[in-house]
Each structure stands twice: as C-alpha cells, then as structure tokens.
Structure 1
C-alpha cells in the first residue's frame, strides 16, 4: 500500500496521514482501486513522504501525537515544492472553529469521521480533477504552443533561479542565444506553414542536443531560441553549441533563400560566467546577444562566445 517507488503516470497519488492504521485501511479501501496510495502515521513522516512522492492530494488527520495536522498543513503550504498540493482534513472533532482554522491555513475541505466511503470518493475525485486541471493550465502558461519548448516567461524564471539560488554562487552558468539564419527569406520562399514546421524541427534538434547537457531550451521569440546551461563553463557551452549546430545541419531542411548554405542553418552567441552576488540574469542575455550579433556579422552559421565578469555594466 505505501509504495514509494515511481508513481504510475496514469493515476493520481493520494497521501493518507493518520496515526490510526484502522483509519488508513478504511480510506485505502475506499480509494485504492482508483489512486496510487501512500501513507504516513506522523506529521514528520508525512512531510518526508510528500517530498518524495509529490502527491496530488493529502488526506490529513487533525489530531495526532507530536506534530498536529494543522502544523503539517502549515509546513506544506510554506514549502514551494508542496504548496500547490490540496489538503483535505479528516477529523472527528466537528468543531466549527477548527474547520475555520484549517481552511485559513490553506486546506480546501473537511471530511468528518467516521469516514463515509461514497462521500470521500466524490470529494477526492472533484479535488483531484481540479488539481490536474490547474497543473495542465500551469504547463500551458509556460509552454510555447508551436514548438512544445519552454516559452520566454519560463526561460526568464529558469535563468533567474540559476543566478539567484543560494547554491549558485561560485558556479558556472552559460546561456546560448540562437537565431535561424535568413528565416524571413525561408518564409517568403516556402510559406508560413512550412516555416512553422521548420521551427518545430529546429526546436526538436535543439532539445535533443541540450538534454544531453542537462540544460533547458526555450523559444525566445519568432525564430530565436535560447538555452540555459547551469554548471557549464564556456568550453563546455561551446561544445554544446557545436553539437546543436551539427544536429540542425543533419536535418537538411532545404533553404533556397539562404546566403550561406542550401539548407537551414543557425547562428549562435554564447555567454558564460561564474555566478557572483548581485549579478543580474540580464547580463547573460545581453552578452549572449552581443555574441550572436558578432556571429551574424561573421557570415552566419557561426558560433561566437565569451566569458564576462560580475563587473560588466548593464
């Protein structure tokens, strides 16, 4: 029942938190056919299991030895990785003040004991469906519809986290700015529908190359893309850029309007630096853009890159 292995991709995960195993068994009997079930018998264990399993919903007992359910709920809501998980309190208290307190801490519902299986199933189903809808909308909000890559909003967040995370100081960070060469001419020659297919194919090539480097890829706008490479110095970032260029060449997408090759090519600018206090994400973007401009000026289908320091002016 308390399977902490990788959850099934097709079933939502429910975490049951109750110090009475008989209550856990009752809830499991009501929900086990439809959901992946994990359980914890204390508040401390609940937080550990929640971080491990990332459940879709928590059924949380109010009264437990040691850490009470209210405190567990509060800690869940204070954790950025767990705060979006809906919490339903299970309680036999029947006290309005306790219900108000739980809801004020961020719980979404109460289920009273003794548990009524049909009522529990319906409430859990409704809240899980709402959670999954919110998750889907959240993904759409940071995904480029054409390519399936991250969009610029998501890229800005990833870059900001890479610069400002507490563990980032003293680590390398690189970004690659990428532009499809003579893309206006491509659209003029083949039409916008074919142009969209071209961008989708280039995005797939970028994703394959950058995934091997444990980086992130986004569509920055139009025919421009960007890659964030945490923990990557300039030498390695230039290798990744060369790999990206090779992948795009291998696509062999015909381009009669190109002035450099008879197929689609890309130009790239690479910026690398050791993260220091007070450095701003814009420094990487600006430096990579400068290098991209140089790559275009050198004839396109080129890679230019440099290391910059924390004293670079914005």
Structure 2
C-alpha cells in the first residue's frame, strides 16, 4: 500500500535541472553533482520551462546571464505558473555586486552561488536544499495525500481547486473535471472482503495516476470508491478523450470481479468543463460532472459521459 512507501525517496532519487547557455559550465556542474542526484542540463530558460512541463525537478540551478529568457525572467515565469511555482531554484552568477545579489533574492531564489563555483560549497548547498525538499515533500504527503491510495485527498482539493479556477480565469483557459466511480464496488467488497477492496482501490489509483500524462493533471480521492481528476487547460473534448483513456486503462488491468457483468473491475466517468470567466461556480461544474457520472452508470457502466453546461 502507499503508506508503506511514503518516505522512501532519497537524495539519489532527486532530480536537479541545470540551466546554462554555456556547455562547459553545464558540464562542470553536472560532473560535481552527478554522484549526489540525477542531473539534467538544458541550454536556455525556454528549454527549462518546457522541461518542467513534463518533469518535476527537485531543484533548479539557474544561470543569470543567458540570451532570450535570462535567469530572472525564467524565475518570473516559474513563479507565475502554479504547476511550477513550488520548484526551488538557486542562481549561479558571475556578478557579485550588492545590487545583483539583492535582485537575485528578490526574484524568489532560495540561494545563489558565485562563478567560478567552489565545488565543496556547491555540493553541500545542493545537498542541504535537496534534503529540505525531501522533508517538505514528506510533510505534504502526510497532509494532502490519501494514505491508502496515494491520490490527493479532500484537503488538497479544498486548498487547490479555487487556485485552479483563478488561474484559468487569469489565463483564459478552461478547467475540466472528471468524476470516476468503480462499478459494483460494494458487491466487490462483499464478495472478496475489505482487504481485497483496499487492494483494488490502490491498484486502480496507481493505474490512473500512471496514465495521467501531464504533471499538472491530478487525481483526487473524494470518498470511498470515487475519484476526481483535475485537468487544467483542457477543453471538454480533450477531457472526454482523457477520461476514456483512463477508463480503458482500468479495464485493461483485468482485475477479476465475478459479480460484475464485465467479469472484471471497471470504472464509469462523468466529464464537465468550466470555461474561463464563465458565470458558473465550480461547485456547479462538480455537480454537472456528478450528473454525467450518473448518466454513464445509467447507460450500462464501464463508460464515460460528457455533456456541456450551456450556461
């Protein structure tokens, strides 16, 4: 179960992203840090942002002077994106004036080191920041993650869903929600026992999380056998496609369920989308997703149903 693995990450499991337009500087930093953590290097702020769209570094080492997006502008974009704003970054700079140091701190960095870097100082600072990040991650798991499945819990939903709504309105992007329910789960529990039921929940959750392809997409357990998927910047058609893929993923697990008409564990899903600045509350969108889930079940289960809100 998830609870048994909640504190298993070590320094060597961490990912450090080095952002520097000079290949020689990247190679020096990679060589100094490669025995501490996993290290990836990119050549620009633009590449760093694109990398963070697909991966979640535990620490970013950010050069200040670069063509295109310099270090400070890259930092601004990181902090402005709710899916990246939690990533700690430290500047690597050749400028050591009081003015530049003040600018680095004001940009939101957790630290900075001077070029040419002192290998002992750099290594120990990186170790310290990664250790702090691991402790914070563990604390977040204890607060925001469901102890059985490893999906996010209602505390996370209450804290972060309003932020996603505001972010969608600010960036004029849609926010889609999918509510899933495991079909005939009560019968599964009654037939196989609650220990098997817990194992089923864990396996379904693990499969759903693995099938979500973007770091910004989140799985929340909202109660019992019900899960909610948060899909920022996703319109209704795209969300319906994602929901169908997730449904197929659970079907292909082929978990036996003798009391289901499908002979295996399946899920049904309801999809709903809030358009940016739409005069509809997020609670109404959740209710619509729940109504669409009811339609999916009424039509035979093991399917997804989506119907737009005309308001």
Question: Which category of TM-score, normalised to the shorter sequence, fits these structures?
Answer: 0.5 to 0.7
Per-residue deviation, 1:286: 0.7
Partners of 2:169 and 2:276 within 8 A in 1: no
Could you say which residue in structure 1 is the equivalent of 2:8? none
Change over 3 Å in CA distance of 1:87–1:247 after alignment to 2 = same
User: Aligned to 2:49, which of 45, 48, 51?
Assistant: 51
Aligned mates of 1:30, 1:275 — CA distance in 2? 47
Partners of 2:220 and 2:227 within 8 A in 1: yes
- Between the two proteins, the alignment pairs up a number of residues equal to 284
Aligned mates of 1:68, 1:301 — CA distance in 2? 49
Per-residue deviation, 1:73: 6.9
1:15 aligns with 2:16: no
Larger deviation, residues 150-159 vs 277-286: 150-159
Q: After TM superposition, list the pairs within 5 Å mapping 1:70-109 onto structure 2.
A: 71-72=72-73, 75=76, 78-80=79-81, 82-83=84-85, 84-91=87-94, 93=96, 95=98, 98-109=100-111
Aligned mates of 1:37, 1:242 — CA distance in 2? 30
Provide structure 1 residue ranges, at least 5 long, that are not aligned to the other structure. 1-7
Could you say which residue in structure 2 is the equivalent of 1:270? 270
Per-residue deviation, 1:145: 3.4
Per the normalisation by structure 1, the TM-score is 0.61
Q: After TM superposition, list the pairs within 5 Å mapping 1:75-154 onto structure 2.
A: 75=76, 78-80=79-81, 82-83=84-85, 84-91=87-94, 93=96, 95=98, 98-112=100-114, 115-135=117-137, 138=140, 143-152=145-154, 153=156
Could you say which residue in structure 1 is the equivalent of 2:41? 38
Aligned mates of 1:82, 1:206 — CA distance in 2? 22
Aligned mates of 2:242, 2:126 — CA distance in 1? 50
Could you say which residue in structure 1 is the equivalent of 2:281? 280
1:252 aligns with 2:256: yes
Per-residue deviation, 1:196: 0.4
Could you say which residue in structure 2 is the equivalent of 1:225? 227
Aligned mates of 1:17, 1:245 — CA distance in 2? 41
Change over 3 Å in CA distance of 1:274–1:94 after alignment to 2 = closer
Aligned mates of 1:299, 1:67 — CA distance in 2? 53
SS state at 2:147 partner: coil
Change over 3 Å in CA distance of 1:108–1:246 after alignment to 2 = closer
Q: After TM superposition, list the pairs within 5 Å mapping 1:152-171 onto structure 2.
A: 152=154, 153=156, 156=161, 160=165, 164=169, 166=171, 168=173
Per the normalisation by structure 2, the TM-score is 0.62
User: Aligned to 1:178, which of 177, 181, 185?
Assistant: 181
Change over 3 Å in CA distance of 1:293–1:162 after alignment to 2 = farther
SS state at 2:178 partner: strand
Aligned mates of 1:238, 1:26 — CA distance in 2? 41
Q: Output one character per residue of 1:200-234: Cα deviation in whole Å (capped at 9) or x when no partner.
A: 344456568887xxx86542211212346744449
SS state at 1:36 partner: strand
Could you say which residue in structure 2 is the equivalent of 1:4? none
Provide structure 2 residue ranges, at least 5 long, that are not aligned to the other structure. 1-11
Per-residue deviation, 1:165: 7.0
Partners of 1:234 and 1:271 within 8 A in 2: no
Partners of 2:178 and 2:230 within 8 A in 1: yes
Change over 3 Å in CA distance of 1:220–1:57 after alignment to 2 = same
Partners of 1:249 and 1:263 within 8 A in 2: no
SS state at 2:41 partner: strand
Per-residue deviation, 1:89: 4.4
